[in-house]
C-alpha cells in the first residue's frame, strides 16, 4: 500500500474531553430503582459498575431536573432541583461521587434556549402586564392583524405547527403571543436580556460547585434571535429549519450568542480540574461551526455531519475531511456520533431507508419496517469505523447491546410532542427511548424490579438483555468492550488520521491512526487483508477476507 497522507496529527496526553468516549445516559430509560416504571438516579448509581466495565470515560446525563416532562425533561421548571421522578439532590451527589470513584466524568444537560411554561420566570411573566421586565425574560409580542389575531411572524415549531401561542388573559380575552421553537410548553428565553444571562451563570456555578465535570448544552444555536424577529425568508421550503448555503434564518446560529459562551467558558476554566462543555450545535457548514469551538468557547460540539452522512461512503468521506479541516483549524477535537435519544437507533436506521438522515421523525408500525439483522451488521461496522477516529466519540445507552428501534410501538404509549403536534404524521422519537433490558426476566427485563416500564419493550429486547450478553463473548456487548479496550490500549482517541490510498470510496473507506489501519468494505467484492494482523472485526472474517458491510482494525 502506498504511503498514507496525514490529515490530522496526534495529540498525545489529551484531556479527557478531547479523546474520551462519552456515554449518554437517558435517565428515564436506564434503570428504575423505585419501581415506578421510570428510570432514576439511584437506578443509575446501582448500575454504574457495569458501565465502568464497558470502558467509557465519561457519561452525559440527559435532564433529570424538575419538569412537567412535556418533552421528557427538556422542559425544565427548576434548573437546580432534581425532579422527584428521578430522586433528590442527595441521590445526584451520591451518583457523582460513585462515578468519580470509578474514574468516570459526569456531564449534565443544560437547556438554555427555553424553559418549561411551569418555570417561575414564565409564571411570573404571565402574571405581569405586557411590556414589563418580567415579560422581557421571554419573547412576548402583540399579534398581527386587526385584533392581534395573527402570530407575530411566520416561524414554525421544530415539533410541528406554529412557533407562537396566544395567551388568554385572566379575564378570558386573548392577549399577547409567546415564542416557542419547540413545544408550546417550552417558551423561548430572551437571551438579549442581561438578567437571563446572569441567571444562567448562577445555574452553571451551582452545578460546578457540586462537582460536575461539564455540560452538554441543548440547542445553543437557537438561543440568539435576530433583532425584531423578522420572518423566516423561506419557511415554505425549510419549515422550522434552514437550508445549507442559503441565507441563515433569524432563529438559527446568530453571532450575538458567542459572548455568552465565552463567559461560560471563563466560568468553567475558573474551576479546579478540567471542566468542559459540548454544544448540541446544528450548524452547517462545519467551517461555520468552527467558530463555536474557538479556544475560548465550547470545548467541542456534536458532529451531526457524521451522523447525517447516513452510511454513505461519499458523504462520510466528505464529512470526515470537512471535520478535520474545520476543527483542527481552531485547535478543537473532532467529535463523532451515530446515536442519541433524538434519532432512530443505528441498528434499525441502517436496515432501512428513512429519508432524513437525522431521522427524528421515527418509524411507526405502518411504515416500512427495517431489516434489523442487516442494520445491526452495518451498525457494528459503522461503530468500529467510528471508534478508531481520533477525537471524542459519543455513544448512546443501549447501542452497546445492539438494540433496535421500537418500530411497532402502539400509539397509545407515545409521549413525544412531535407525535401530537403533527397529528401522528411524524411518530417521533419514543422508539429510540425504550427502557433498557438488563436481565431476561420479568415484565421489563430487569429495568425495574416491579416489572413496570414507561414504554413497553419490543419482544426482541429479552434476548438482548445485558446479562446474557455479558456471558457471551460473541455478543454485541463483548464486541463494544473489545473495541473500547483496544481504542484505549492504542490511544486512538489521541491519535492521527490519514486516508489509506485505494480506500477513499466508493467501494471502501480506510484510514490509518497511529499505525492501526481501519477498513470498511462498502462494495460487493471482498477485500483481501493479506497477512495483516486483525485486531478486531465487526463480523468474524473468513480466510482474511473483509466482506461487504464489514469493518476491521488491522496491523500491517
Ligand atoms: C434537543 C434535545 C431534544 C429536545 C430539544 C428541545 O434537540 O436533544 O430531545 O426535544 O432539544 O429541548
For 448, the grid coordinates are 425495574
The lowest-confidence range among 278-292, 321-335, 341-355, 397-411 is 341-355
Give the confidence band of 321 by pLDDT, cuts at 50, 70, 90: very high
Stretch 472-482: mean pLDDT? 98
Listed residue (116, 65, 86, 62) closest to 280, CA to CA: 62
| CATH number for the domain formed by residue range(s) 120-179 | 3.90.400.10
Which of 69, 182, 189, 215 is the pocket-test mutation for ligand 1 (most atoms within 8 Å of CB)?
182
218 is catalytic: yes
Task: Tell me if 74 CB under 6 Å of ligand 1.
Answer: yes
Mean pLDDT along residues 399-420 = 97
Return the residue matching grid coordinates 402502539: 410
The model's pLDDT over 30-82, given as tens digits with 9 standing for 90+, comes to 999 999 999 999 999 999 999 999 999 999 999 999 999 999 999 999 999 99
470 is known as an active-site residue: no
Q: Are 545 and 526 in contact (CB under 8 A)?
A: yes
pLDDT above 80 for 100 = yes
CA distances from 455 to 39, 364, 430, 450 (A): 11, 14, 8, 14
Q: How many residues are listed for the chain in this entry?
A: 556
Q: What is the mean pLDDT of residues 319-343?
A: 97
| Of 104, 117, 125, 31, residue with least CA distance to 450 | 31
Name which residue sits closest to atom 6 of ligand 1, judged by CA: 74
Ligand 1 close to Cβ of residue 218 (< 6 A): yes
Cβ neighbours, 10 Å, residue 423: 9
Residue 1 has pLDDT above 50, yes or no: no
How many A from CA of 433 to the centre of ligand 1? 13
* Cβ proximity of 394 and 24 under 8 Å: yes
Strand-pair category, 276-279 with 214-217: parallel
Q: What count of other Cβ atoms lies within 10 Å of the Cβ of residue 548?
A: 17
Q: Using 50, 70 and 90 to split pLDDT, how confident is the model at 170?
A: confident
User: Which 3-state string (H, E, C) describes 424-450?
Assistant: CCCCCCHHHCCCCCCCCCCCCCCCECC
Predicted local confidence at residue 356, as pLDDT = 56
CA 118-120-124 angle, 5° bins = 105
For residue 339, the SS3 value is coil
Tell how far the Cα of 109 is from the centroid of ligand 1, in angstroms.
10
Question: Please, are residues 399 and 26 in contact by the beta-carbon 8 Å criterion?
Answer: no
Condensed to tens digits (0 to 9), the pLDDT of residues 278-309 reads 999 999 999 999 999 999 999 999 999 999 99
Q: Which of 142-156, 202-216, 360-374, 481-495 has the lowest mean pLDDT?
A: 360-374
Atom of ligand 1 nearest to the CA of 74: 12
Residue range 397-404: mean pLDDT, rounded: 98
More confident residue, 175 or 1: 175
Query: DSSP labels for 77-131?
Result: SEEEEE-TTT--HHHHHHHHHHHHHTT-EEEEEE--SB--TTSHHHHHHHHSPTT
111 CB under 6 A from ligand 1?
Answer: yes
Phi, psi of 110 (to 5 degrees): -110, 130
Q: Compute and round to an integer the Cα radius of gyration of the chain.
A: 23
Q: Which of 218, 297, 416, 494 is catalytic?
A: 218
Rounded to whole angstroms, how far apart are CA atoms 394 and 306? Answer: 12
**337 vs 329: CA distance, rounded Å:** 20
- In short, whether 71's Cβ falls inside 6 Å of ligand 1 is yes
Segment 420-436 mean pLDDT = 95
Looking at residue 171, its pLDDT comes to 85
C-alpha 143/C-alpha 122 separation (Å) is: 19
- Residue 18: how many other CB atoms lie within 10 Å: 21
Tell me the average pLDDT across 419-442: 96
Establish whether residue 342 lines the binding site of ligand 1, counting it when its CB lies within 6 angstroms of any ligand atom. yes
Indicate the SS3 state at residue 301. strand
Q: Which of 280, 416, 494, 512 is catalytic?
A: 280
Span 127-138, average pLDDT:
96
Q: What percent of the chain has pLDDT over 70?
A: 98
Give whole-number Cα distances, 30 to 11, 45, 287, 299, 408, in Å. Answer: 34, 10, 36, 27, 21
pLDDT average, residue stretch 438-453: 97
3-state secondary structure of 160: coil
- The C-alpha cell at 388 is 478508531
Nearest CA to ligand 1 atom 12: 74
Task: Kindly indicate the confidence band of residue 353, based on its pLDDT and cuts at 50, 70 and 90.
Answer: confident
CA gap 230, 146 in Å, rounded = 19
**Cβ of residue 396 lying under 6 Å from some atom of ligand 1:** no
Q: Which helix (H) or strand (E) holds 216?
A: strand 214-217
What does each C-alpha distance from 88 to 42, 66, 241 come to in angstroms?
A: 9, 10, 37
Element containing residue 396 per DSSP (H, E)? strand 392-396
CA nearest ligand 1 atom 8, residue: 342
Q: Tell me the mean pLDDT in the region 75-96.
A: 98
Q: Would you kindly state where each structural domain of the chain is located, as residue ranges?
A: 120-179
Residue nearest to atom 4 of ligand 1 (CA): 74
Amino acid at each position: 500500500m502506498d504511503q498514507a497522507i496525514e490529515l490530522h496529527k496526534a495529540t498525545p496526553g489529551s484531556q479527557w474531553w478531547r479523546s474520551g468516549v462519552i456515554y449518554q445516559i437517558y435517565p428515564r430509560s436506564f434503570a428504575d430503582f423505585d419501581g415506578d416504571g421510570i428510570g432514576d438516579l439511584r437506578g443509575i448509581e446501582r448500575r454504574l459498575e457495569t458501565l465502568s466495565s464497558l470502558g467509557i470515560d465519561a457519561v452525559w446525563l440527559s435532564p433529570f431536573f424538575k419538569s412537567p416532562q412535556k418533552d421528557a425533561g427538556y422542559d425544565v421548571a427548576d434548573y437546580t432541583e432534581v425532579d422527584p421522578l428521578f430522586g433528590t439532590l442527595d441521590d445526584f451527589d451520591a451518583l457523582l461521587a460513585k462515578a468519580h470513584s470509578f474514574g468516570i466524568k459526569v456531564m449534565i444537560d443544560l437547556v438554555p434556549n427555553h424553559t418549561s411554561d411551569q418555570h417561575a420566570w414564565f409564571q411570573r411573566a404571565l402574571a405581569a402586564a405586557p411590556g414589563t421586565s418580567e415579560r422581557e425574560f421571554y419573547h412576548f409580542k402583540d399579534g398581527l392583524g386587526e385584533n392581534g389575531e395573527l402570530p407575530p411572524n411566520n416561524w414554525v415549531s421544530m415539533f410541528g405547527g406554529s412557533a407562537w401561542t396566544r395567551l388568554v388573559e385572566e379575564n378570558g380575552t386573548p392577549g399577547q403571543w409567546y415564542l416557542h421553537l419547540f413545544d408550546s410548553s417550552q417558551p423561548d428565553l430572551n437571551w438579549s436580556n442581561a438578567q437571563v444571562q446572569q441567571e444562567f451563570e448562577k445555574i452553571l456555578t451551582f452545578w460546578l460547585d457540586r462537582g460536575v465535570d461539564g455540560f452538554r448544552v441543548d440547542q445553543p444555536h437557537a438561543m440568539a434571535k435576530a433583532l425584531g424577529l423578522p420572518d423566516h425568508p423561506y419557511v415554505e421550503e425549510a419549515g422550522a429549519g434552514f437550508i445549507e448555503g442559503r441565507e441563515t434564518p433569524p432563529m438559527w446560529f446568530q453571532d450575538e450568542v458567542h459572548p455568552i459562551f465565552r463567559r461560560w467558558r471563563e466560568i468553567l476554566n475558573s474551576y479546579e480540574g478540567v471542566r468542559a462543555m459540548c454544544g448540541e450545535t446544528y450548524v452547517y457548514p462545519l467551517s461555520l461551526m468552527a467558530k463555536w469551538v474557538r479556544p475560548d468557547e465550547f470545548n467541542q460540539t456534536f458532529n451531526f455531519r457524521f451522523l447525517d452522512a447516513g452510511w454513505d461512503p461519499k458523504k462520510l468521506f466528505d464529512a470526515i475531511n470537512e471535520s478535520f479541516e474545520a476543527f483542527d483549524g481552531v485547535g478543537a477535537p473532532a467529535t463523532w456520533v451515530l446515536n442519541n435519544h433524538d434519532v432512530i437507533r443505528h441498528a434499525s436506521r441502517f436496515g432501512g431507508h428513512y429519508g432524513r438522515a437525522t431521522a427524528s421523525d421515527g418509524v411507526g408500525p405502518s411504515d416500512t419496517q427495517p431489516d434489523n439483522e442487516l442494520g445491526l451488521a452495518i451498525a457494528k461496522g459503522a461503530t468500529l469505523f467510528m471508534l478508531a477516529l481520533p477525537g471524542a466519540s459519543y455513544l448512546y445507552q443501549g447501542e452497546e447491546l445492539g438494540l433496535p428501534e421500537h418500530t411497532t410501538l402502539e400509539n397509545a404509549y407515545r409521549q413525544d410532542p412531535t407525535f401530537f403536534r403533527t397529528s401522528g404524521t411524524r411518530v417521533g422519537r419514543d422508539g429510540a427511548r425504550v427502557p433498557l433490558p438488563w436481565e431476561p426476566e420479568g415484565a421489563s427485563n430487569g429495568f425495574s424490579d416491579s416489572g413496570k416500564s414507561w414504554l413497553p419493550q419490543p419482544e426482541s429486547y429479552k434476548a438482548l438483555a445485558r446479562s446474557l450478553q455479558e456471558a457471551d463473548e460473541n455478543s454485541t456487548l463483548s464486541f463494544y468492550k473489545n473495541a473500547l479496550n483496544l481504542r484505549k490500549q492504542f490511544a486512538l482517541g489521541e491519535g492521527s488520521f490519514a486516508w489509506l490510498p485505494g480506500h477513499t470510496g466508493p467501494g471502501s473507506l480506510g484510514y490509518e491512526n497511529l499505525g492501526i489501519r481501519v477498513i470498511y468494505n462498502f462494495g460487493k467484492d471482498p477485500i483481501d487483508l493479506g497477512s495483516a494482523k486483525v485486531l478486531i472485526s465487526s463480523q468474524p472474517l473468513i480466510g482474511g477476507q473483509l466482506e461487504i458491510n464489514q469493518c476491521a482494525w488491522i496491523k500491517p
